[in-house]
């Protein structure tokens, strides 16, 4: 008797309409991170010119990324609050390059600003990844609705500059579910159906809270939406192991594997090749194990 794939026990949306392509979520997908910033916590300053951007994009696509998430604003704790113009300049430079060289690539824009998102969509981006779920720019939901693109909404309090001071919750998991339920209801009233949930590891949460969320991640499936999980090289890993972010790949692999066991649908990662290996082994396990 074949063991049940844990992902199948949840009543979650199983497809995304991405630029007319139906992305099936009955198996995990990968979102590669391409930060074109000088100050992101791990890869800041690595991808600032044409060669490094295109080399990274090509590598991620070759290694198995379904999506490439391009961001021009560092959201690490305490990051500089740059202007809309500077964020747009950074992001559009990378988007145009990648679109020209890899026209079939599915690109997401990592921004909480509707003006940046609108410009990115005009250049061919097909998904919006908003760390604030519309909290920091109330015009974002209307833009998503008008363009009919998938929308990643994350749980966060405050801003990247203030979130580390906003970590008190009476019941974190319940408050997260209430937050997302309210957001989903509002977005669906606008006609937005392709909504993806990101619990926001490291955003207005302590290390202990991050691990508590991961331990109980399946609780979020009550929302009925796909889960995007961003654990890649985050401080909850390297601080726990007393290493640097550059040395946190092994820990990232472990926690990504646990996230899949808890029903994650999309892993957002810096290291696509290694994450793809997790999924390959995951597929083998769930396709070939007999009881």
Residues 234, 239, 244, 262: which is the catalytic one?
234
How many residues make up the chain in this entry? 291
Residue 290: DSSP 8-state: B
**Any catalytic annotation for residue 234?**
yes
- State the chain's maximal CA–CA distance in angstroms: 58
| Cα angle 153-258-213, degrees, rounded to a multiple of 5 | 50
H helix count then E strand count, the chain: 9, 10
| Consecutive H or E run containing 21 | strand 21-24
* CA atoms of 171 and 204, how far apart (whole Å): 14
| Consecutive H or E run containing 151 | strand 151-154
Distances, alpha carbon 43 to alpha carbons 21, 157, 229, in Å: 30, 24, 18
Residues 268, 273, 276, 284: which is the catalytic one?
268
Whether 187 and 144 have beta carbons less than 8 Å apart is answered as: yes
Q: Write out the two tokens for 110.
A: 């990592």
Kindly provide the b/e burial profile for residues 188-202, where b requires at least 16 CB atoms within 10 angstroms of the residue's own CB: eeeebebbbbbbbbb
Q: Where do the H-state alpha helices sit in the chain?
A: 50-63, 84-101, 114-122, 140-147, 172-189, 207-215, 235-241, 249-261, 272-288
* CA atoms of 56 and 63, how far apart (whole Å): 10
Residues identified as active-site: 234, 268
């Amino acid at each position: 008797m074949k063991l049940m794939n844990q992902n199948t026990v949840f009543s979650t949306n199983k497809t995304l309409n991405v630029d007319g392509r139906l992305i099936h979520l009955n198996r995990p997908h990968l979102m590669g991170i391409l930060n074109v910033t000088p100050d992101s916590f791990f890869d800041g300053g690595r991808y600032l010119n044409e060669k490094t951007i295109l080399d990274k994009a090509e590598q991620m696509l070759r290694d198995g990324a379904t999506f490439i998430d391009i961001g021009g604003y560092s959201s690490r704790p305490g990051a500089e609050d740059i202007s809309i113009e500077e964020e747009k300049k950074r992001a559009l430079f990378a988007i145009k390059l990648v679109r020209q060289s890899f026209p079939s690539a599915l690109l997401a824009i990592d921004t909480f600003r509707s003006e940046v998102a609108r410009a990115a969509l005009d250049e061919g981006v097909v998904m919006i990844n908003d760390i604030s779920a519309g909290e920091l720019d109330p015009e974002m939901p209307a833009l998503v609705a008008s363009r009919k693109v998938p929308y990643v909404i994350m749980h966060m309090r405050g801003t990247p500059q203030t979130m580390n001071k906003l970590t008190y919750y009476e019941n974190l998991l319940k408050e997260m579910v209430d937050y997302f339920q309210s957001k989903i209801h509002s977005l669906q009233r606008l006609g937005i159906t392709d909504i993806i949930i990101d619990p926001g590891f490291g955003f207005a949460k302590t290390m202990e809270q991050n691990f508590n969320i991961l331990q109980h991640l399946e609780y979020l499936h009550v929302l009925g939406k796909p889960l995007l999980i961003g654990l890649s090289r985050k401080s909850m890993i390297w601080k726990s192991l007393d290493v640097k972010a550059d040395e946190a790949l092994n820990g990232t692999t472990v926690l990504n594997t646990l996230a899949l066991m808890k029903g994650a649908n999309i892993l957002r990662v810096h290291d696509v090749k290694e994450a793809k290996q997790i999924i390959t082994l995951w597929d083998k396990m769930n396709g070939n194990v007999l009881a």
